[in-house]
Amino acid sequence: MKADKTTIANLQTTCSLLSSLKEQYRVDVYQLKGMDLDWLACRVKKWYHRAEHHLGLFIKRLIYLEQDPVYDTDTVKGISGVDAMLSDREDTLYGILDQLVAFRAAAWDSRADSIPDLYEHAIQDLENDVWKIERERKLIATLTEPGYIGSRLSDG
């Protein structure tokens, strides 16, 4: 099966975005565990697995389209605090969502098989992650970061 060059380029870019997000989540999990925040590390680990799952789907689609998956993974960053980490991930997710929405529209316009569906499922999961991050950040704003951590210790 063949696809147009724009669709292929968008798939490659999506792989790069999801790979970078996945690796950042991996580092976040280890750092949160190092801070004894296992309950939050568990949540981030779920986000990691979802990003990894979607990355696999996009890689499989490239292979199905007889294209080699060629993409780069951005450099990961350490965290200075829970709110700073959540804020950075929220900003990252919004940037990724903007691109995926545009890629879904382009795939839809080019009638690219089931590729718009792949984007739609990834978008839904990433929007769910943003919703959870926003909820946690509201708690931090209400309780302050030390109060937030103290109140959540009973969770994990």
What number is the average pLDDT over the span 59-81?
91
- Helix axis angle for 5-34 and 38-64, nearest 10°, is 160
What number is the average pLDDT over the span 79-85?
89
Whole-number Å distance between alpha carbons of 56 and 36: 30
Angle at 44 between CA 38 and CA 47, to 5 degrees: 150
- Domain chopping of the chain, boundaries: 5-155
**Any idea which residue has 């991930």 for tokens?**
89
SS3 1: coil
Size (the chain), residues: 156
In whole numbers, what is the pLDDT of the chain averaged over residues? Answer: 90
Per-residue DSSP letters for 61-113? HHHHTT-------PPP---S-HHHHHHHHHHHHHHHHHHHHHHHHHHHHTT-T
In CATH, which of 1.20.1260.10, 3.40.50.12280, 3.20.20.140, 1.10.300.10 is domain 5-155?
A: 1.20.1260.10
pLDDT tier at 100 (50, 70, 90 boundaries)?
A: very high
pLDDT tier at 81 (50, 70, 90 boundaries)?
A: confident
pLDDT tier at 110 (50, 70, 90 boundaries)?
A: confident
> Is the pTM higher than 0.85?
yes
Q: In the prediction, which pLDDT does 153 show?
A: 67
